[in-house]
Amino acid sequence: MEYIVTQTLDKMVRKSKKRQRDPARPKRAMTPFLYFACEQRKILKESGEKMALPEQSRKIAQLWKEVEDKTKYVDSAKVDQARYREQMSHYTPPQKIKRPRSSYAFFMRDVRARVAEANPDKTPRELMTDIAAAWKASSSDDRGIYNDMAEKDKQRYADEKSAE
Protein backbone atom coordinates (compact mmCIF):
# COMPACT_ATOMS: atom_id res chain seq x y z
CA MET A 1 0.00 0.00 0.00
CA GLU A 2 1.34 3.39 -0.97
CA TYR A 3 0.41 6.65 0.65
CA ILE A 4 0.52 9.88 -1.24
CA VAL A 5 1.11 12.89 0.92
CA THR A 6 0.28 16.22 -0.55
CA GLN A 7 1.23 19.33 1.21
CA THR A 8 0.30 22.87 0.34
CA LEU A 9 2.54 25.62 1.48
CA ASP A 10 0.93 28.96 1.81
CA LYS A 11 3.19 31.82 1.11
CA MET A 12 4.02 33.55 4.33
CA VAL A 13 4.01 37.25 3.70
CA ARG A 14 5.18 39.62 6.35
CA LYS A 15 3.31 42.86 6.07
CA SER A 16 4.53 45.93 7.83
CA LYS A 17 1.92 47.93 9.63
CA LYS A 18 1.48 50.99 7.51
CA ARG A 19 -0.05 53.99 9.15
CA GLN A 20 -3.52 54.51 7.80
CA ARG A 21 -3.72 57.79 5.95
CA ASP A 22 -6.81 59.87 6.56
CA PRO A 23 -8.59 59.91 3.17
CA ALA A 24 -10.09 63.34 3.94
CA ARG A 25 -6.67 64.92 4.49
CA PRO A 26 -5.54 67.14 1.58
CA LYS A 27 -2.69 65.92 -0.60
CA ARG A 28 0.66 67.55 0.07
CA ALA A 29 1.94 70.26 -2.22
CA MET A 30 4.33 69.23 -4.98
CA THR A 31 7.84 70.66 -5.21
CA PRO A 32 9.24 72.30 -8.36
CA PHE A 33 11.35 69.20 -9.00
CA LEU A 34 8.28 66.95 -8.89
CA TYR A 35 6.54 69.06 -11.52
CA PHE A 36 9.64 68.83 -13.70
CA ALA A 37 9.95 65.07 -13.11
CA CYS A 38 6.32 64.43 -14.12
CA GLU A 39 6.84 66.39 -17.32
CA GLN A 40 10.08 64.57 -18.11
CA ARG A 41 8.60 61.12 -17.43
CA LYS A 42 5.91 61.83 -20.02
CA ILE A 43 8.56 62.91 -22.51
CA LEU A 44 10.67 59.81 -21.84
CA LYS A 45 7.62 57.57 -22.17
CA GLU A 46 6.63 59.14 -25.48
CA SER A 47 10.18 58.85 -26.83
CA GLY A 48 9.98 55.09 -26.28
CA GLU A 49 13.20 54.76 -24.28
CA LYS A 50 13.10 51.73 -22.02
CA MET A 51 14.80 52.46 -18.69
CA ALA A 52 14.66 51.03 -15.22
CA LEU A 53 13.16 53.36 -12.64
CA PRO A 54 16.45 54.18 -10.85
CA GLU A 55 18.13 54.93 -14.18
CA GLN A 56 15.19 57.08 -15.22
CA SER A 57 15.33 58.98 -11.93
CA ARG A 58 19.06 59.62 -12.33
CA LYS A 59 18.53 60.95 -15.84
CA ILE A 60 15.72 63.27 -14.72
CA ALA A 61 17.86 64.51 -11.80
CA GLN A 62 20.70 65.25 -14.19
CA LEU A 63 18.34 67.12 -16.52
CA TRP A 64 17.04 69.12 -13.54
CA LYS A 65 20.57 70.24 -12.71
CA GLU A 66 20.99 71.47 -16.28
CA VAL A 67 17.72 73.47 -16.38
CA GLU A 68 18.47 77.19 -16.27
CA ASP A 69 14.96 78.64 -16.13
CA LYS A 70 13.04 76.92 -13.35
CA THR A 71 10.47 79.69 -12.86
CA LYS A 72 7.70 77.70 -14.59
CA TYR A 73 8.06 74.88 -12.08
CA VAL A 74 8.56 77.19 -9.09
CA ASP A 75 5.37 79.09 -9.98
CA SER A 76 3.41 75.83 -10.27
CA ALA A 77 4.73 74.74 -6.89
CA LYS A 78 3.74 78.07 -5.29
CA VAL A 79 0.20 77.73 -6.62
CA ASP A 80 0.03 74.19 -5.30
CA GLN A 81 1.44 75.28 -1.94
CA ALA A 82 -1.28 77.94 -1.67
CA ARG A 83 -3.91 75.29 -2.50
CA TYR A 84 -2.50 72.99 0.17
CA ARG A 85 -2.44 75.71 2.84
CA GLU A 86 -6.01 76.71 1.99
CA GLN A 87 -7.27 73.13 2.23
CA MET A 88 -5.33 72.48 5.44
CA SER A 89 -6.89 75.56 7.07
CA HIS A 90 -10.31 73.87 6.70
CA TYR A 91 -9.13 70.37 7.64
CA THR A 92 -9.66 69.00 11.13
CA PRO A 93 -7.89 65.72 11.90
CA PRO A 94 -9.96 62.92 13.43
CA GLN A 95 -9.65 62.46 17.17
CA LYS A 96 -7.62 59.46 18.24
CA ILE A 97 -8.99 57.37 21.04
CA LYS A 98 -6.54 57.24 23.92
CA ARG A 99 -5.81 53.76 25.18
CA PRO A 100 -6.85 52.99 28.75
CA ARG A 101 -4.32 53.66 31.49
CA SER A 102 -3.24 51.01 33.94
CA SER A 103 -3.61 51.39 37.70
CA TYR A 104 0.17 51.87 37.92
CA ALA A 105 -0.02 54.72 35.41
CA PHE A 106 -2.61 56.50 37.56
CA PHE A 107 -0.45 55.92 40.64
CA MET A 108 2.61 57.26 38.87
CA ARG A 109 0.73 60.37 37.73
CA ASP A 110 -0.24 61.15 41.33
CA VAL A 111 3.05 60.30 43.03
CA ARG A 112 5.73 61.40 40.55
CA ALA A 113 5.54 65.13 41.31
CA ARG A 114 5.92 64.54 45.06
CA VAL A 115 8.83 62.15 44.61
CA ALA A 116 10.58 64.51 42.18
CA GLU A 117 10.09 67.45 44.56
CA ALA A 118 11.47 65.46 47.51
CA ASN A 119 14.52 64.30 45.47
CA PRO A 120 15.53 67.09 43.08
CA ASP A 121 19.03 65.65 42.58
CA LYS A 122 17.84 62.28 41.21
CA THR A 123 17.67 61.42 37.53
CA PRO A 124 14.34 60.46 35.94
CA ARG A 125 15.43 56.81 35.86
CA GLU A 126 16.17 56.86 39.61
CA LEU A 127 12.82 58.53 40.22
CA MET A 128 11.07 55.75 38.31
CA THR A 129 12.74 53.10 40.49
CA ASP A 130 11.60 54.97 43.62
CA ILE A 131 8.04 55.16 42.28
CA ALA A 132 8.08 51.45 41.41
CA ALA A 133 9.30 50.65 44.92
CA ALA A 134 6.51 52.80 46.40
CA TRP A 135 3.96 50.97 44.21
CA LYS A 136 5.21 47.58 45.40
CA ALA A 137 5.13 48.74 49.00
CA SER A 138 1.64 50.23 48.78
CA SER A 139 -1.22 48.42 50.50
CA SER A 140 -4.06 46.72 48.65
CA ASP A 141 -6.44 49.47 49.86
CA ASP A 142 -4.25 52.14 48.23
CA ARG A 143 -4.01 50.07 45.07
CA GLY A 144 -7.77 49.61 45.08
CA ILE A 145 -8.28 53.33 44.44
CA TYR A 146 -6.04 53.17 41.39
CA ASN A 147 -7.58 49.87 40.24
CA ASP A 148 -10.99 51.57 40.29
CA MET A 149 -9.59 54.46 38.25
CA ALA A 150 -8.17 51.98 35.74
CA GLU A 151 -11.51 50.14 35.48
CA LYS A 152 -13.33 53.41 34.81
CA ASP A 153 -10.76 54.28 32.16
CA LYS A 154 -11.19 50.85 30.54
CA GLN A 155 -14.93 51.48 30.43
CA ARG A 156 -14.36 54.92 28.87
CA TYR A 157 -12.15 53.32 26.23
CA ALA A 158 -14.72 50.63 25.48
CA ASP A 159 -17.48 53.24 25.17
CA GLU A 160 -15.42 55.42 22.80
CA LYS A 161 -14.41 52.39 20.76
CA SER A 162 -18.02 51.22 20.38
CA ALA A 163 -19.16 54.74 19.40
CA GLU A 164 -16.60 54.75 16.58
Query: Tens of pLDDT along 105-155?
Result: 999 999 988 888 888 899 989 999 999 999 999 888 889 999 999 999 999
Query: Mean pLDDT for the chain?
Result: 87
Tell me the per-residue pLDDT of 37-62, one tens digit each, with 9 for 90 and over.
Answer: 999 999 988 888 888 999 999 999 99
| CATH at 79 | 1.10.30
Residue 89: per-residue pLDDT: 94
Q: Does the reported pTM lie above 0.85?
A: no
φ/ψ (deg, to 5) at 119: -130, 75
Show the domain range for 115. Answer: 103-163
% pLDDT > 90, the chain: 57
Q: Is position 135 within any domain? A: yes
Q: Is position 18 within any domain? A: no
Residue where one domain finishes, among candidates 64, 90, 116: 90
Close Cβ partners of 76 (under 8 Å, ≥ 6 residues apart): 30, 32, 35
Which of the four pLDDT bands, split at 50, 70 and 90, describes residue 24? confident
Domain count for the chain, please give it.
Answer: 2
Residues 107, 58 share a domain: no
Close Cβ partners of 10 (under 8 Å, ≥ 6 residues apart): none
Distance CA 90, CA 88 (A): 5
